[in-house]
């Protein structure tokens, strides 16, 4: 057997190439017998190959594709070099090595057409989709989508990469349920790998965004261990951040502080993104511990605050009876997030403004919150709004808003009853 079989990834990948033969034959207008005659093989063999009833060898495929005027590449050294670049790109992306990613991407893109028909076809379709999803226009080829019909003929590594690609494709498209299902398929294949670790991290983030705190914590802890195994500090930090957030929202502040302390030893202030996030978590722990002075001190070290961080700071000032400072903070945020450009944030700020006004609650903003509370990026924001609106109802006598607020609280009880 030709040594090129070594680069198929799995011999049964050749079943996929056999199935594609039927599509290409039909597209060019060849009959089954006509193709068989051109390749000097029996029509029954062509039929069996096209219907995936027999495993073709690479030499037979070469004859058949040649009869269709396509070059089926079997250059072992060439295939080996491309295969090594494919693997190197996956590792470079996992390790976030930007210069290597650019170099390898540029080297691989010309191969997608040159090796369209070769023992590397499946590997190239997967890595082309990987490049398109992560570094280009977020769309994929028809060939990648067609792989859904041939998953039984992909090996374990290829199936993990297929589902990881599909997960990110659906996530970018805003289809969170389908993204979650695809990432879940990666981990149900029971193969520990870098793809497995990335899928766990994404499931942790998606679960956290859906306020499924216990599940988010479970995924995050598993992801952190795998990223540590593969010696990737920054991907481990991403998983650890989800774990910290989960612990805080479960009121397990000691566990959250323990991870924060560990990360404080390895992160330096020059790493702005991670350092600022770490300061934010310290502030969040301080806020939950009713240490509002420390909360404000931690947040003051962050030059460009996120909406969550700014709200956390303003509410800390309210707890310290610095209402004028808090009101000024919210006024600045309202200018930053006008209703015309940021309706989601604008509705949030209009509701928080009832802390400083006797005017009735903005009905549009209130209805938006009731219908879309699960769109807020942080459970703490929802909890803050619930608290602010309950206090407003008690202070002004607008008790009619309490019923929908109670319904949201009941929906969040699924988290509450599991948090311990």
Domains in the chain, CATH or no CATH each: 3-137 (1.10.260.40), 155-266 (1.25.40.10)
* Residue 417 pLDDT: 41
Which tokens belong to 11?
A: 């011999």
Q: b vs e for 361-371, b when ≥16 Cβ sit within 10 Å of the residue's Cβ?
A: bbeebbebbee
Q: Is 72 helix (H, G, I), strand (E, B) or coil?
A: coil
* Residue 355 pLDDT: 93
CB proximity list for 121: less than 8 A, separation 6 or greater: 13, 16, 17, 20, 115
Start-to-end C-alpha separation, the chain: 60
Count of all residues that appear for the chain in the document: 420
pLDDT in tens, the chain (420 residues): 444 444 545 677 888 888 889 888 998 999 999 998 998 999 999 999 999 899 888 889 999 999 999 998 888 899 999 999 999 999 999 999 999 999 999 999 999 999 988 889 999 999 999 999 999 888 899 999 999 999 988 989 999 999 999 999 999 999 999 999 999 999 999 788 999 999 999 999 999 988 899 999 999 999 999 999 999 999 999 999 999 999 998 999 999 999 999 998 888 766 778 899 999 999 999 999 999 999 999 999 998 898 899 999 999 999 999 999 999 999 998 888 877 667 788 888 989 999 998 788 889 999 988 888 877 778 888 889 999 999 999 988 888 888 988 888 877 765 544 443
Exposure on the CB side of residue 107, measured as CA atoms within 13 A: 16
* Residue 42 pLDDT: 93
* Residue 1 pLDDT: 40
CB proximity list for 406: less than 8 A, separation 6 or greater: none
* Residue 340 pLDDT: 67
* Residue 290 pLDDT: 96
The residue with tokens 């998953």 is 151
Which tokens belong to 180?
A: 């979650």
For the residues of 267-326, what is the DSSP string, one character each? Answer: --TTSHHHHHHHHHHHHHHHHHTT-HHHHHHHHHT-SS--HHHHHHHHHHHHHTT-HHHH
């Amino acid at each position: 057997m030709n040594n090129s079989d070594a680069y198929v990834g799995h011999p049964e990948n050749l079943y996929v190439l056999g199935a594609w033969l039927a599509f290409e034959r039909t597209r060019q207008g060849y009959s089954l017998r006509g193709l068989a005659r051109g390749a000097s093989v029996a029509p029954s063999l062509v039929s069996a190959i096209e219907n995936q009833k027999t495993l073709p060898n690479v030499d037979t495929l070469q004859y058949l594709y040649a009869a269709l005027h396509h070059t089926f590449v079997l250059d072992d050294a060439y295939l080996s070099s491309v295969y090594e670049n494919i693997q190197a790109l996956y590792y470079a992306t996992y390790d976030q090595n930007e210069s290597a990613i650019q170099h390898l991407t540029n080297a691989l893109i010309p191969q997608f057409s040159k090796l369209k028909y070769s023992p590397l076809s499946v590997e190239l379709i997967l890595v082309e989709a990987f490049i398109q999803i992560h570094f280009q226009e977020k769309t994929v080829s028809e060939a990648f989508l067609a792989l859904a019909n041939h998953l039984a003929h992909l090996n374990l590594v290829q199936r993990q990469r297929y589902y990881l690609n599909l997960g990110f494709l659906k996530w970018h498209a805003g289809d969170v349920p389908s993204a979650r299902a695809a990432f879940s398929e990666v981990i149900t294949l029971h193969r520990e790998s870098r793809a497995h670790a990335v899928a766990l991290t994404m499931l942790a983030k998606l679960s956290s965004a859906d306020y499924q705190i216990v599940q988010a914590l479970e995924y995050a802890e598993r992801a952190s261990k795998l990223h540590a195994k593969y010696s990737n500090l920054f991907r481990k930090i991403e998983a650890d951040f989800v774990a910290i957030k989960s612990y805080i929202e479960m009121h397990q502040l000691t566990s959250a502080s323990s991870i924060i302390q560990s990360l404080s030893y390895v992160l330096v202030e020059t790493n702005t993104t991670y350092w600022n996030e770490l300061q934010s978590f310290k502030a969040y722990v301080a806020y939950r511990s009713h240490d509002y002075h420390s909360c404000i001190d931690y947040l003051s070290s962050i030059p460009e605050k996120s909406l969550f961080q700014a709200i956390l700071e303003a509410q800390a000032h309210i707890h310290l009876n610095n209402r004028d400072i808090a009101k000024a903070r919210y006024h600045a945020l309202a200018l930053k997030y006008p209703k015309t450009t940021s309706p989601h944030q604008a509705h949030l700020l209009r509701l928080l403004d009832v802390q400083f006004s006797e005017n009735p609650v903005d009905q549009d903003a209130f209805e938006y919150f009731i219908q879309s509370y699960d769109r807020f990026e942080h459970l703490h924001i929802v909890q803050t709004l619930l608290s602010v609106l309950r206090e407003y109802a008690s202070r002004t006598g607008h008790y009619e808003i309490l019923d929908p607020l109670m319904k949201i609280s009941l929906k969040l009880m699924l988290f509450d009853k599991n948090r311990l």
